[in-house]
Amino acid sequence: MNLDEVLAELERHASPERKQRVARLGIPEENSIGVAVPDIRRIAKRVGRSSSLANELWSTGLHEARLLAALVFVPTELSVSDAEALVADVQSWDLCDHLCNNLFLLMPDYPALIDAWADAEPLYTRRAAFALIASAATHEKSVSDKQRDRYLAHVESAADDARPHVKKAVDWALSEVGQRDLVARDRALALCDALIESGDKRKASLGRSAKKEIERFVEAPGRRRLIASRD
């Protein structure tokens, strides 16, 4: 499928109601046509992987075309600078997280993105670092102790960021790291206590929020990750 054919397919699945919901995410009306993510995923399966087509889709500026592009790029063909250029264009948390979960995490050197973006000033670049940590902690079968502790160090350094879209991602990252196993849970809880006792209201708020969630995590037979206790 070429660009025109893919855009026509997106248009066939567009709806005014969905476009209104997208607008509430802060996407300018002219940059959205209103296509649900499940439909975008089905289109992506038909299109297959093609970085050249993905770049064309991204260049349209359409929100849904960019969601589709994230599923069409060939991850191994992207460099760190390519990823930085993509995240610099992001205008909403959903596209940020979608890129992290479906594209950046599949890049062989994604930890370099986390290290580069964790202290970044732009809103969605910094959120992307913590969305990536959360995604890696959730989906990667193996995360070294060194890498886990580096993730927690990034969380600690960003715990005072007051911007809601960053704060939520930092909280999310801390909780997902704490759910990997009992050792990770204990390390995450120790960080929560340090944040609570820091004397900084923002850090303490984050620490209390994450601790309430992480304390519920317990082992379960046959499960790779901890689960939330019902008690």
- Please check whether residues 23 and 92 belong to one and the same domain: no
Residue whose token pair is 């969601």: 67
Residue whose token pair is 């992290």: 100
Q: What mean pLDDT do residues 67-92 have?
A: 97
Structural domains in the chain (count)? 2
- Please check whether residues 213 and 100 belong to one and the same domain: yes
- Please check whether residues 171 and 184 belong to one and the same domain: yes
Q: Sign of the CA dihedral 171, 146, 126, 65?
A: negative
- Please check whether residues 25 and 85 belong to one and the same domain: no
Range of the domain at 55: 1-73
Structure tokens at 80: 């760190």
Residue whose token pair is 């969905």: 18
Please give the mean pLDDT across all residues of the chain.
96
> Among residues of the chain, what percentage have pLDDT more than 70?
100
pLDDT at 24 > cutoff 90: no
> pLDDT class for 21, splitting at 50, 70, 90?
confident
- Please check whether residues 141 and 167 belong to one and the same domain: yes
Phi/psi of residue 144, nearest 5 degrees: -65, 160
- Please check whether residues 119 and 186 belong to one and the same domain: yes
pLDDT of residue 231: 62
pLDDT of 121-153, one tens digit each?
A: 999 999 999 999 999 999 999 999 999 999 999
Any idea what the CATH number is for the domain that residue 205 is in?
1.25.10
- Please check whether residues 163 and 227 belong to one and the same domain: yes
Quote the pTM value. 0.95
- Please check whether residues 54 and 83 belong to one and the same domain: no
Q: How many CB atoms lie within 10 A of CB 181?
A: 17
- Please check whether residues 106 and 56 belong to one and the same domain: no
Residue 33 CA to its chain's centroid (Å): 23
Cβ distance 214 to 179 under 8 Å? yes
pLDDT of residue 140: 95
- Please check whether residues 136 and 60 belong to one and the same domain: no
- Please check whether residues 137 and 58 belong to one and the same domain: no
- Please check whether residues 84 and 60 belong to one and the same domain: no
Among 73, 105, 135, give the residue marking a domain's end.
73
Give the length of the chain: 231
Among 27, 45, 73, give the residue marking a domain's end.
73
Among 73, 102, 124, give the residue marking a domain's end.
73
> pLDDT class for 230, splitting at 50, 70, 90?
confident
DSSP symbols for 4-33: HHHHHHHHHT--HHHHHHHHTTT--GGG--
pLDDT of residue 22: 85
pLDDT of 151-206, one tens digit each?
A: 999 999 999 999 999 999 999 999 999 999 999 999 999 999 999 999 999 999 99
How far is 101 from 121, CA to CA, in rounded Å?
21
